[in-house]
Amino acid sequence: MDKFVTLTYEGKEIQLPLITGSEGESAIDISRLRAETGLITMDPGYANTGSCLSAITFMDGETGILRYRGIPVEQLAEQSTFKETVYLLINGRLPTRDEHTQFSIMLNDNSLVHTDLKAFFSNYPRGSHPMGILSSMVNAMKSFYPALDTMEEEINITMTRLLAKVRTMAAMSYKISRGHEIVLPRPDLTYCENFLNMMFDTPVKPYEMKREAVNALRVFWILHADHEQNCSTSSVRMVGSARVNLYAAISAGIAALWGPLHGGANQAVIEMLTKMENGSDSCAKVVERAKDKSDPFRLMGFGHRVYKTYDPRAKIMKKMCDELLESMQIDDPLLDRARELEEIALKDPYFIDHNLYPNVDFYSGIVLRAIGIPTNMFTVMFALGRLPGWIAQWRESTDDPLWKISRPRQIYTGAQKYDYVPMHAR
Ligand code: ACO
């Protein structure tokens, strides 16, 4: 039976339909609210606003649950490959063996990057952040790879190109930033192995592929693959809703992810821990600053809009971080600082009262350092992991019969009407 919520306004009762999801979460459908009452809703940061129906990712922030297409992320991190998880997110189910082979061939065939794209690096000011470059490059892909004849073909090839080429571009940007020769993708390597090889292989020192590093990258990417309607994904959906091409929508997602309150936090965590390690900030001072309302500083890698308990991704990341450093015999002093900081913060009444726990970014930087990724590439690594999620979410929105241009309203608080005063009279 259909359920409703009754709203009483100025003596009139309005019935607003209740929508219930497959895991029992409910929402009030307010799409007729303004037409019937003249009212709109106000929800800064959209903290209580559902922007779409989605069958891709389920998360429960109170109990710390994360599932892709119904499968717990813990199981995927344990048993799946990144490529398989990508397929799952985009196509809604795990691939058969044949589908997996076909997908691998498509990714391999599309993994080369137009050499003219190198110009991006030579023409960007030195020292530019790789996220800015990546966002521009992805946007430019539309000009390098013109549209195909049918929409279906176009969508499929665009998704494949993005998944295959952005990984190559990211490794290429690192090589060029070091002044080294570009290493091309190889058909005999897996998705994760190929990336590491393109990053670290050199003619004078062949890259020694370590099982632990490949596994760490696999888990890192799976954990970042989707996270429902977060800031960057919502940006992809919002920009996409204007019916721009997919490259432009993904470019917007990359730009949003760059921010330190979002994906940029993994870099910010390492910078914070480094300051602690070199003595410019003590652990106690960092915690005190984070609590001080007159100081804009926040404990990076802590807190989350949805999770009010330990982020399930952070749990897996922390465990993997410990195992990785131990098996690779790496002694990273930043891991000690992170553990110390977590221990103090989790006992502190401020963090307890505010439900602030480590998020995925708290330990991920230490994992990335261990596999040799430079700090300024951390957020790019996040972007590579999130790419399938953005694509899946964009695709879902294009299939939605209710797909409308995203266009929130506002409550105007500016000056009321007054007349223009000519310059001489001001
Ligand atoms: N350090 C100190 N205080 C914090 C932190 C933090 N990391 N996070 C939230 N708070 C406090 C706020 O000051 C606020 O306190 P108040 O209610 O006393 O004023 C309260 O907790 C709620 O904070 P909001 O900013 O309203 O929470 P919101 O859901 O908008 O923000 C966010 C979530 C942006 C992730 C926030 O927790 C934060 O800035 N964290 C640090 C940056 C970070 O790690 N970002 C990565 C997030 S995960 C991801 O995007 C992959």
Q: Residue 224: its pLDDT value, please?
A: 98
User: Quick one: angle between helices 191-200 and 211-224, nearest 10?
Assistant: 110
Sequential DSSP letters for 379-402: HHHHHHHHHHHHHHHHHHHHH-TT
Taking the C-alpha atoms of residue 27 and residue 51, their distance in angstroms, rounded to an integer, is: 11
Report pLDDT for 26.
96
Q: Is 201 a catalytic residue?
A: no
**Pairing label, strands 57-60, 71-72:** unpaired
Alpha carbon of 233 to ligand 1 centroid (Å): 18
- Residue 20 CB coordination number (10 Å): 10
- pLDDT of the residue at 155: 84
Q: Looking at residue 110, what is its pLDDT?
A: 93
Residue 275, pLDDT score: 93
Helix ranges restricted to H, 145-230: 151-177, 191-200, 211-224
The torsion angles phi and psi of 382, rounded to 5 degrees, stand at -65, -45
- Ligand 1 proximal residues by C-beta, below 6 Å: 45, 261-263, 265, 290, 298-305, 354, 356, 359-361
> Would you state the torsion angle of the CA atoms of residues 155, 80, 257, 45, taken in this order, to the nearest 10 degrees?
100
* Contact by Cβ (8 Å): 347, 306: no
Asked if 339 and 285 count as a contact pair (C-beta separation under 8 A), the reply is no
CA of 268 to the centre of ligand 1 (A): 14
CA of residue 316 to ligand 1 center, whole Å? 21
Contacts 24+ apart (CB under 8 A), 76-80: 76/222, 77/219, 77/222, 77/223, 77/316, 80/222
Q: Which atom of ligand 1 is nearest to the CA of 224?
A: 51
User: Residue 276: how many CB atoms within 10 A of its CB?
Assistant: 20
pLDDT of residue 126: 79
> How many residues in the chain?
426
List 60's β-bridge partners, or say none: 65
By the 8 A CB rule, do 364 and 266 touch?
yes
- Choice among 226, 304, 311, 332 that is catalytic: 304
Ligand 1, atom 34, lies closest to the CA of 261
- Choosing from 49, 273, 298 the residue with most ligand 1 atoms within 8 A of its CB, the one to mutate for a pocket test is 298
Amino acid at 380: V
Q: Which residue CA neighbors atom 16 of ligand 1 most closely?
A: 354
∠ Cα 417 419 424 (to 5°): 150
Measured CA to CA in angstroms, residue 5 lies from 18, 27, 28, 30, 324 at distances of 6, 10, 7, 10, 51
Active site (annotated) includes residue 353: no
The pTM assigned to this predicted structure is 0.95
- Along the 426 residues of the chain, how does pLDDT read in single tens digits? 689 999 999 999 999 999 999 999 999 999 999 999 999 999 999 999 999 999 999 999 999 999 999 999 999 999 999 999 999 999 999 999 999 999 999 999 999 998 888 887 778 887 888 899 899 999 999 998 877 767 777 888 999 999 999 999 999 988 888 888 899 999 999 999 999 999 999 999 999 999 999 999 999 999 999 999 999 999 999 999 999 999 999 999 999 999 999 999 999 999 999 999 998 889 999 999 999 999 999 999 999 999 999 999 999 999 999 999 999 999 999 999 999 999 999 999 999 999 999 999 999 999 999 999 999 999 999 999 999 999 999 999 999 998 999 999 999 999 999 999 999 999
